[in-house]
Chain A
């Protein structure tokens, strides 16, 4: 068996001399990493929610994944994603139909009749903290919202590339060697 060092040498050599030998080859000639050329998913007109509901969803998604040194969920287009998914899922539709009005009901009872969007950020967070731990439908609503927000955000360009720093899907001449760092 080859030692790791020898294997590295060979793979390294292949990387330098052989990874792109086919510039005119039918296999490699057409090889363009074209994901950048694909259209970014466009924000379209809402399909399920009305604008008032979308404003609430937008605020909720930003409370779950807020702007920090990178943009938050709303700027990453999460509300439009949630609208799209909920529009195709009757079970989620029921969850949101009941859950969204409940927010204002809870706000009103806790904070002198104020609607959710009128609350201060700490007050809004207080309500979500309660929902996060709530049993039954309130908890189910919050978790549906959180799941969709996480899914939408971390599959967006902002979430995946800017926030998480994803840098794959690229051409590597050779696969990098790793070593376990000494402590």
Chain B
């Protein structure tokens, strides 16, 4: 039997892989997706509507009994992290793409906002994003459905922030607020991050992969953990080598072009594992930059209570979790650091009661104290942009193997002085807003106990092959038919949630790859 050769083999099925696959399939390209995890069904497999008391230890497992998936870094499931994301969908701005030119810190992208704008448009139309056109310089407007209203707590914080000259807007999410032909509107149950069981919230499987499979142009290989990208003597990627997640059986998928899209650190890990005589330090790593420039978001948090809401009747306003957002406004301010931060504002969040233990005392008075503050609890989740440094990187830990016998991937991020200044600035802004709005601060996170989110960097995009791994079309400098399409290519992280940009980059890369196929270039 002649072996099957796909036009493209995409490793990973999340925001990057899913978008790339759907856009290429639409253009008639024959696509294979190789995904480490199992097929998951967002309608039936997740514990979406469970509450803590359904479980003796009060921890809600992600999956329902008997369902597998989302249990491993290397093998989440078809749809990847989009199955469980919070759907915040923000465009990067010119200031984000050209941070080095503007601030003298970080790195410029080889592309700018006008290169990306049409792809942001296309993705927003495709997946359905809600938000307002706020006219902010640092957060470009897109094509939006109307967002759900702000909660009462948001309005109080917004009023306080306004007195300080700080904007708070309605956040922008890839969640439908009006039904389409195939997806219903959000029903505001507040379980977004446990998996939206109606797919009102975008996920790659329902919105991109399933429709693409119906075209006959997409084949998905689930449960197939890729261990190596195969390279020919002619320096072309020819496919991937995988292990079956359950049986351990080995297999290969062959293609004329390969795209690695398995989420930042795992993409870097896969390339580092793909060693050969030509690439002894990892595939596409002739620059030595693979795994360098790891720039995850660092996050901080401020918890407290809004005085105006203490003792109020509890209403069901969990909504789609965070409705309000503090966009970057720092560029207009005098400040002693480079780059910026943004804050997701959580009010009306009532399944988180861990704060109760922090209130003083015990007995009936304590119980009353907790009850009164339950409607008033608020939380600021702040995201800062990290400047790349030599101590922050992704590498293989050759002393540790995972359940598949593959090297564990370690991601190390060390925050430095600029990060400390941003950290303090974002916590201070949150505290100031809460105080201005009339509130009590319960706790403020500490820089010495850093938390990370949104892994980015490691396969930096750039025009110079000596200092970057991929070019402006996400194509590796070293191998002309090998692409990396996920957050690892970000040269700078911005403070904004990256998923919309990953999808827009994937759509742009799909255009580029589709054109190359059309021209007979691959």
Q: Which residues of A contact B (CB under 8 A)?
A: 1-2, 4, 7-8, 10-11, 14, 18-22, 25-28, 30-31, 33-35, 38-42, 44, 63-66, 68, 80-81, 84-85, 88, 125, 128, 132, 146-147, 150-157, 159-160, 163-180
Q: Does B350 contact A (CB under 8 A)?
A: yes
Q: Within the assembled complex, what's the spacing in Å between the Cα atoms of A63 and B191?
A: 34
Residues of B within 8 A of A81 (CB): 56-58
* B184 interface neighbour in A25, A66, A157, Cβ under 8 Å: A25
Q: Does B455 contact A (CB under 8 A)?
A: no
Q: Within the assembled complex, what's the spacing in Å between the Cα atoms of A163 and B368?
A: 9
Residues of A within 8 A of B351 (CB): 160, 166, 168-169
Question: How close is B295's CB to chain A, nearest CB, in angstroms?
Answer: 34
Asked if B184 and A155 make an inter-chain contact with CB atoms under 8 angstroms apart, the answer reads no
Question: How close is B360's CB to chain A, nearest CB, in angstroms?
Answer: 8
* B318 interface neighbour in A7, A19, A38, A169, Cβ under 8 Å: A169
Residues of A within 8 A of B156 (CB): 180
- By beta carbon, the residue of chain A nearest B323 is A175
Q: Does B310 contact A (CB under 8 A)?
A: no
| 4 residue pairs, one from A and one from B, having the closest CB atoms | A154-B353, A175-B148, A155-B52, A178-B152
- By beta carbon, the residue of chain A nearest B188 is A172
Q: Beyond A160-B53, A171-B189, is A64–B363 a contact (Cβ under 8 Å)?
A: yes
Chain A interface: which of B17-25, B175-183, B415-423, B457-465?
Answer: B175-183
* B314 interface neighbour in A22, A146, A164, Cβ under 8 Å: A164
Asked if A165 and B185 make an inter-chain contact with CB atoms under 8 angstroms apart, the answer reads no
Q: Beyond A27-B198, A176-B315, A178-B150, is A164–B184 a contact (Cβ under 8 Å)?
A: no
Asked if A157 and B53 make an inter-chain contact with CB atoms under 8 angstroms apart, the answer reads yes
Q: Beyond A1-B133, A18-B185, A35-B51, is A7–B146 a contact (Cβ under 8 Å)?
A: yes
Residues of B within 8 A of A41 (CB): 53-56, 58
* A169 interface neighbour in B133, B177, B191, B361, Cβ under 8 Å: B191
Residues of A within 8 A of B190 (CB): 168-169
- By beta carbon, the residue of chain B nearest A175 is B148
Residues of B within 8 A of A85 (CB): 57
Asked if B371 and A163 make an inter-chain contact with CB atoms under 8 angstroms apart, the answer reads yes
* B319 interface neighbour in A20, A34, A175, Cβ under 8 Å: A175
Residues of A within 8 A of B132 (CB): 1
Question: How close is A180's CB to chain B, nearest CB, in angstroms?
Answer: 5
Asked if B350 and A166 make an inter-chain contact with CB atoms under 8 angstroms apart, the answer reads yes
Question: How close is B493's CB to chain A, nearest CB, in angstroms?
Answer: 29
Asked if A178 and B155 make an inter-chain contact with CB atoms under 8 angstroms apart, the answer reads yes
Give the contacts of B193-241 with A (CB-CB under 8 A).
Answer: 197-199, 206
Question: How close is A3's CB to chain B, nearest CB, in angstroms?
Answer: 11
